[in-house]
Amino acid sequence: MTKFLLKYLLSVVFLLNQFNGSSSYYYDITSTTPSLLNGYTLFDFSKARHLKNWAEVSDSTCQVGQSKAVFTLHKSPTKQRGVFFTLLTPNTRGACFAGYRTDVQFDISKYNMLVILGSTHGTNNTIGSFFLHTVYKVLLQHNGLEDRLHPSYEYSFLPDSDPTPTLFQLPLDKFKPIYHGRYVSDALPLNKANITRLAIISFGGSHEPSEDMDEIQRGVSCFEIDYIKAIHSDHLNAALREAYLK
């Protein structure tokens, strides 16, 4: 009996080591149980083990692209958060983008807003005496549809360059269907019950030639992110209290 128990315990230890050593056995972010009051934590980077489920999507995959993104975890003795670095280098037409995406399986049909707790540093360029802050956008895809053939649903926002954490609010009804940089007027509504991909991107220019290359967003920026949640706007005040007490 003793030999059997010893063999059993050794087998359990082996399986646990296999579980902890393989990224395919666990998802990189610990999500809380969704509720209408507390919202649905999609990504909590303060508890993430890794970001292996995220992949870069930058214009460097194209022949003329030279932009770059890095998404990593920054850990200190007192805090951990995700850090999204971007380097935007416009091509001759002025277009550029750098970002990361991850495949997911989210039902956020009960919610009408995404919120991101984070802070930004640096800017991507200046125009004359004006100091421009980095523009970011969040992209959603649904029903497992590929972005090469179908539109993604996008929302752009312009955070101030401020090291103080801010709760950025992204209303889901403001996400617009975009395909290759152009609005798709006859696209189906976003299926919030079956979100299958999420991306965070910094971008500049468009697919059309720019009349003034000096006005194209470029350069280095950094976006530190604590978490991304889906909430209902009726409970926004509770989300704000949680964010600023964090």
Helix (H) or strand (E) segment spanning residue 7: helix 2-21
Give tens-digit pLDDT for 171-197: 999 999 999 889 999 999 999 999 999
pTM to 2 decimal places: 0.79
Q: 27-245 is classed in which CATH architecture?
A: Sandwich (2.60)
Q: How confident is the model at residue 31, as a pLDDT?
A: 44
Reply yes or no on whether the pLDDT at 218 is more than 50: yes
Task: Name the residue with higher pLDDT: 224 or 205.
Answer: 224
Q: How confident is the model at residue 133, as a pLDDT?
A: 58
Contacts of 130 (CB under 8 A, 6+ apart): none
Give tens-digit pLDDT for 122-167: 655 544 434 455 789 999 999 999 888 999 999 998 876 667 889 9
Give tens-digit pLDDT for 45-82: 999 999 999 999 988 766 677 899 999 999 998 999 99
- Locate the domains of the chain by residue range: 27-245
Beta strands in the chain (DSSP E): 40-44, 54-56, 68-75, 80-88, 96-106, 113-121, 125-127, 130-132, 136-142, 152-157, 166-171, 176-179, 182-183, 195-204, 219-231
Q: How far apart are CA 177 and CA 151, in angstroms?
A: 6
